[in-house]
Amino acid sequence: MTDVNYENIERYLAGDMSEKERDSFENELDENEDLAQELHFYMYVNQSISECLHHHSSFKYYDEHTTFKSLNTKKQQDMSTIRWVALITIALIFGGILIWSPWQNNRIQEATKVKMTTVSAEGIPVDNKYADIIDLFNKNKYAEVLPLLNTALTEKPDDLYIRYYRGLTFLNLKYLGSARRDFLKIYTANTVQMYEAAYYIALSYTEEEDEEDYKESALKWLKKIPKESSIYPKAEELRKTLI
């Protein structure tokens, strides 16, 4: 394995790099496979811990700052040991939640069931250049597919097909505000997926930390979905959980 600067990985993920440093780091990622693998491991650990904590925000034994960074205070520590400690930490958090609290329904799992098709909602075959995006999305590799979706939308901002699936990607990554912005564009464009967009906007509000504060917003969006819409049964099921 080549030398890997773990401090730079932490600074990159924390957003502490300057624009020049970030560009340099991303260029190195393209050339250094070991660095890319370690970055993905950091992301996996942080996301796994965050997902465990998300299921029960009052879990007292770990707080929102419990991340891989806290496991790596000694830079010279053997990385194989760090990996084991990180994975054991995830297991302890997950196990502790199961022991100390009932498992909460994760409504957002509904979004993970959606698969990206090779045909747009209007029945138009999509460009073959999206093959990698479709493959990663359908494997639920949302952190990996997001940069590709961003690039595709930069090249073609009006592509509502890509925007819809980026909205779902944001939703699965729990970037709730970003998800709503994408789905709002779908809804206001009066596309065939406008009511699905309304449903996912409502769903995103139910995933906010203080659900009570956002319940009214969720219900408002659910009311926009007519009974004849194919998404209405799911919308009605969600509505019943909120009243």
**Mind listing the pLDDT tens digit for each residue in 160-171?**
999 999 999 999
Whether 121 shows a pLDDT value over 70: the answer reads no
- pLDDT on residue 29: 75
Determine the topology of domain 109-242 in CATH: 1.25.40
- pLDDT on residue 45: 62
For the whole prediction, is pTM greater than 0.95?
Answer: no
| Cβ proximity of 200 and 167 under 8 Å | yes
Average pLDDT over residues 4-29: 78
d(CA 238, CA 222): 8
pLDDT band at 101; cut points 50, 70, 90: very low
Whether 211 shows a pLDDT value over 60: the answer reads yes
Selection from 10-14, 68-72, 89-93, 150-154 with the highest mean pLDDT? 150-154
d(CA 142, CA 83): 22
Whether 67 shows a pLDDT value over 80: the answer reads no
Whether 120 shows a pLDDT value over 90: the answer reads no
- pLDDT on residue 66: 45
Residue ranges of the chain that CATH labels 1.25.40.10? 109-242
d(CA 226, CA 223): 8
Question: CA 23: distance to chain centroid?
Answer: 23
- pLDDT on residue 197: 95
CA-closest candidate to residue 123, choices 171, 203, 192: 192
- Residue 239 CA: distances (Å) to CA of 77, 84, 91, 233: 50, 42, 34, 10
pLDDT band at 124; cut points 50, 70, 90: low
Residue 134 parent element (H or E):
helix 131-138
